[in-house]
Amino acid sequence: MIFFLKGPLVVLACVLIAIVVARLIFPLPKIESRFDSMALPPDESAPLVRAVQQQWRDHPGKTGVAAIGSGVNAFAARMILADAATTSIDAQYYIWHNDLTGSLMLDALKRAAERGVRVRLMLDDNGTSGLDQSLAALNAHENAEVRLYNPFNLRTFKVLSYGFDFFRLNRRMHNKSFIVDGAAAILGGRNIGDEYFDTGNTPLFVDLDVLAVGEIVPKVADDFDRYWAAEAVHPAGPIVGAPPQGDPIEDAVTRYRGDPQLSEYREAVIASDLVPNLRSGNLGLEWTDVILISDDPIKGLGAVPREDLLATRLTQAVGVIQSRFDGVTPYFVPGAAGVKAFAKLQDTGISVRMLTNSLAATDVLPVHAGYTKRRRDLLAAGVGLFELKRQATEDKARDKIGPFGSSGASLHAKTFAVDGTRIFIGSFNFDPRSTTLNTEMGLLIDSNAMALQLHEAFDRDLDGMAWHVALKNDKLAWHDKSTGTHSKFEPGSTFFKRIALTIVGWLPVEWLL
């Protein structure tokens, strides 16, 4: 018996020693000597700033907003604003892919730095695969600096770092913002990569951003500064290493020369009238009240009280819901507490409807397991559930899905509308990871037009682009409005997927999803 007890203790001791040794061998660089720059004030002589401030003077205290649903337009907006920058670009992202759009965006930042624009790029290190050399090259420019949030100790086989630093690396920066000249900002659900901008061979994403100018932009800039100076954020230089010989950013763009994909996107940027319309006041901005909701970056160290979490403050900012709540999220894991909260809304006569990915469309099966575990209880409570079809993209690759932009294989937008008066657009998913582990941000916008557009999309059953899930005789059923058909089998389901969903549902991992 004594020998039996000693065995596990010896194994545990060996594991702990291995973790300590690994941390000693692969430490993170110290950050005490870094210099934390601040957002630059808008240069009133710059054409973009001058145009925005002229319109802002006509709407004192308000923010001008315009939703960006199309992935092509979302890419063009960032590229054109970057090319129009005269003083500063501050970009913050969870994922930046080493693909066509990622390469073009890095090239735009490099070109901006070369003409004297100060560039600050802050990335979550979980989404920088294959970019170390390009980031090192950009960071080496005198007008640019790159920083990484919760960087991995290992650069090769990064995932192995989880073995000895799991609890830190499990916390990620999910924020997305792009600020130019302190005058215009783009926030929303999109990362930087082909699938977010409606191009490439990867499955596309249905997503949503918002362009903002006016009152909210200085607040977004202040929030960027707060993250830039956070303890979890490290200068990239000591982590990615010295810049390589040559120009890896130019090399990345060069490999796409002759590719029709590159020509298409360059034409889209040339054809875009975003900046001319913004300068002339013809962009169709809605001037209204906007609130920035953003997690404290110390959340990356697990040190934020529950009352200070974005989810808590967002609930407080939304206030009392009167009649309806319609939400869109790719990863819907409400947990027992979420089911209870939605049921309470339904009990008070408030209509609750949610759109998420179907099993056929999801890109993260374990997260879908967290959703299916609570699906029946949500339906029993009266919550309306819709699941985006995968064939929506296969059949109508450039069609529109209500306010969400171009259709894609997988839903990625994170938004909700309340009472036809307010809409939230940001990075927050309805899951435990967004609530307690990742940092998140977004804008709560007073807008009848945007809110009603989302409500009306649900009223139309999302134009047949999603299955309406219901309980019929205590059995789940999927209704396809476009064909008028019903199915008692979950679309996209297979024997092995059902086994996997069941097993993940049994495991105590909901807090990780």
- The catalytic residues are 174, 176, 181, 412, 414, 419
Distance of alpha carbon 315 from alpha carbon 325, whole angstroms: 12
For Cα atoms 382, 383, 387, give the angle at the middle one, nearest 5 degrees: 135
Contact 146, 139 (CB under 8 A): yes
Tokens found for residue 190: 């999109």
Distance of alpha carbon 15 from alpha carbon 21, whole angstroms: 10
CA atoms within 13 A on the CB side of 445: 33
Distance of alpha carbon 381 from alpha carbon 280, whole angstroms: 50
| CA-wise closest residue to 50 among 278, 282, 288 | 278
Distance of alpha carbon 392 from alpha carbon 408, whole angstroms: 7
Q: What is the DSSP string of 255-303?
A: TTTT-HHHHHHHHHHHH--HHHHHHHT-S-PEEE-EEEEE--GGGGGT-
Tokens found for residue 26: 């692969």
Distance of alpha carbon 245 from alpha carbon 255, whole angstroms: 17
Tell me the three state secondary structure of residue 56: helix
Tell me how far apart the terminal alpha carbons of the chain are, to the nearest angstrom: 39
Distance of alpha carbon 383 from alpha carbon 398, whole angstroms: 30
Distance of alpha carbon 191 from alpha carbon 92, whole angstroms: 9
Contact 513, 433 (CB under 8 A): yes
